[in-house]
């Protein structure tokens, strides 16, 4: 729910309005599910082509989402490389000064690095797959 202020003849009144759609803040509180985002977009393209939508319109939408995914991939590449550098530093610290705390830190950073690598590969493979989808849309629109 949100409040909307309306001015009527100099008076300010508040009016409540209910929204049928979940607010984005609640919907994406823990981030976007990238796997679902990718699947939904590919399904949207497939349905659009089956329903006879103009390939040019679908291509514009696809290029926009591809740019978002490329940006996400770049950010995660930088984060993954930074995590890798931290992992290497912790590994060196563990080798030079073995201890329980260094071992725990090593394991924690290793787990984080593994998950970042998995997510980065999802993004990388999806971007490459979307390049093929772009080529397909270009062929269907007659631009090829």
Residue 44 lies in a domain: no
The number of distinct structural domains making up the chain is: 1
Residue 134 lies in a domain: yes
Residue 68 lies in a domain: yes
Residue 41: CB atoms within 10 A of its CB come to: 19
pLDDT value for 141: 79
Residue 58: CB atoms within 10 A of its CB come to: 20
Sign of the CA dihedral with 25 first, then 27, 31, and 35 last: negative
Residue 107 lies in a domain: yes
139 CB-near residues (< 8 Å, 6+ apart)? none
pLDDT for 144 beyond 90? no
Share the mean pLDDT of the chain.
Answer: 83
Q: What is the pTM of this model?
A: 0.70
CA 77/CA 83 separation, integer angstroms: 10
Portion of the chain with pLDDT greater than 90, in percent: 60
Residue 96 lies in a domain: yes
pLDDT value for 42: 92
Most confident of 7-16, 44-53, 134-143: 44-53
| Domain housing 77 | 32-39+54-144
**pLDDT digits 0-9 by tens, 62-90:** 999 999 999 999 999 999 999 999 999 99
Residue 22 lies in a domain: no
Residue 13 lies in a domain: no
CA 110/CA 9 separation, integer angstroms: 64
28 — pLDDT class (breaks 50, 70, 90): low
């Amino acid at each position: 729910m949100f409040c909307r202020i309306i001015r009527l003849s100099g008076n300010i009144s508040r009016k409540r309005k209910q929204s049928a759609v979940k607010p984005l803040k609640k919907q994406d509180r823990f981030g976007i599910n990238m796997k679902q985002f990718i699947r939904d977009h590919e399904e949207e393209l497939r349905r659009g082509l089956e329903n006879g939508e103009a390939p040019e319109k679908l291509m514009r939408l696809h290029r926009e989402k591809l740019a978002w995914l490329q940006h996400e991939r770049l950010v995660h590449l930088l984060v993954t490389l930074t995590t890798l550098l931290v992992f290497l530093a912790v590994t060196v610290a563990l080798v030079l000064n073995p201890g329980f705390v260094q071992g725990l830190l090593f394991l924690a950073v290793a787990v984080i690095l593994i998950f970042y690598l998995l997510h980065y590969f999802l993004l990388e493979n999806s971007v490459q797959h979307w390049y093929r989808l772009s080529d397909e849309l270009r062929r269907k629109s007659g631009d090829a």
